[in-house]
A and B are shown apart, each in its own frame.
Chain A
């Protein structure tokens, strides 16, 4: 069934993809107007289109009638700033006009909320009157710095159009096998969480025969505590796009898409701007720089589903199906978007690939070890004295990251949740024994994942934290597999009972 839908959706293709069409329809009308026409256009049943539409939180009427959204990510919850913030917003906008969103990527300053298509955080709530009036206010930026021995992700080697053109000129005449070899030599593994070797992924896809292939950049960074993708999309957009174009060249694809989450309006703006600049300069489009290679890029704006960070769900989402996970194999490299071979890479992976090509693979593989090579962006939340996003060598001790780079804690902290809501909760004393290394974390029973750090303060109730995690997974589970559909809900029920009892007795 889903194969049929994928093919029908693929008939019209990426440029007018069904997901973007159905989001627009839903956001621009209050009723079912236009669903039938849309379904007819794609030759699908109304139920299919409606089913997909109703999957996304942002497209639901209950969400759309709200005006402001308070961040309920783990970092903001631990900081304890959101209750007062919600109250203030409710006073200004009305009691039922304030909803919630999961992590707006402002974990370094908290007090995060979304209003009228923009994100605000930190002291911005004090200027709420100006914000409501529509005036532009000056916002604080995150702190970013590279502590790496060689910077691959934060350097300025691809910060303007001339550099981009020069490098593209160089690599579009380089042998494809040589590019794959240098990625394989660099030992770069995927930065999205699963850690699959990137060179191997590109190699597999380049060897699969098909007339049409796709490059997908996964910029659906839902993990609370992480804003590294946001940093790359906003500060290093050319590096990410360079990675995508080279990937397209290597695997033989002429079309790519960035799936950026709707919670990051600034990132969408920045990437959109960069794509337009590149198109105007002739660095995207038909026969780039006089070569035979053509490549075009599109943007898909996510509508508030965390599960879309999973590659098969992301593909389903772009195709206009319900964003449910598919069974693998077949892996996307053989049967991906519209059932065509597809490379799905995380933002940081693509930027790192560009960094490796620019700086040389030997420098990347020289850092860390074979399975955890190179540098990694690490995000520190507001409990640190120096919160921000840092580029750090793999293999650096967590002790050094916490005490030197992060400058220690503002308040006593008992544990760190590293790697988003799915990563392990590491007690501080255990964390200090570890190094920034994927394998080491797994052996110790944790997960490095995206290397985002959320601090859990000493006075925070752990039962509350477990409840938060179950609530999150019950909310965001796609509902395809049985244990995932039932498990979190049953566990949450079990906790709610305990919580009710605690309230009664206290």
Chain B
């Protein structure tokens, strides 16, 4: 999955990252992995300008 993303373009695939984060948020047993998406999603939401060169929206 990641190799494919890599061979296309080596940026962070946002859609995939979001899916992973939501899976973790919903599917984890406890708060450690279930809540770690919170700060990441906050950063993606509020600091998208800073990250725009490192991310591709569609993958």
Contacts and interface: CB of A to CB of B under 8 A. Distances in A.
B31 A422 contact: yes
A417 B40 CA distance: 11
B31 A425 contact: no
Given A463-B54, A483-B23, A193 B43 contact: no
Q: B-side binding surface: helix, strand, loop or mixed?
A: helix
A490 B13 CA distance: 12
A74 to B, nearest CB: 10
A430 B46 contact: yes
Interface in B1-59: 1-2, 5-6, 10-13, 16-17, 20-21, 23-24, 27-36, 38-43, 45-47, 50-51, 54
Given A427-B46, A490-B20, A502-B54, A310 B39 contact: no
A122 B42 CA distance: 31
Given A495-B12, A502-B54, A476 B32 contact: yes
Given A310-B32, A481-B33, A497 B38 contact: no
Most buried by B among A307, A325, A466, A470: A466
B20 A487 contact: yes
Nearest to A311: B30
A325 B12 contact: no
Contacts of B1: 490
B33 A487 contact: yes
Contacts of A306: 32
B31 A194 contact: yes
B16 to A, nearest CB: 8
A423 B36 CA distance: 8
A309 to B, nearest CB: 8
A60 interface: no
A482 B26 CA distance: 12
Contact of B47 (A415, A421, A484, A501): A415
Contacts of B36: 421-422, 469-470, 472-473, 488
A477 interface: yes
Nearest to A473: B36
Nearest to B42: A425
B12 A498 contact: yes
Interface of B: 1-2, 5-6, 10-13, 16-17, 20-21, 23-24, 27-36, 38-43, 45-47, 50-51, 54
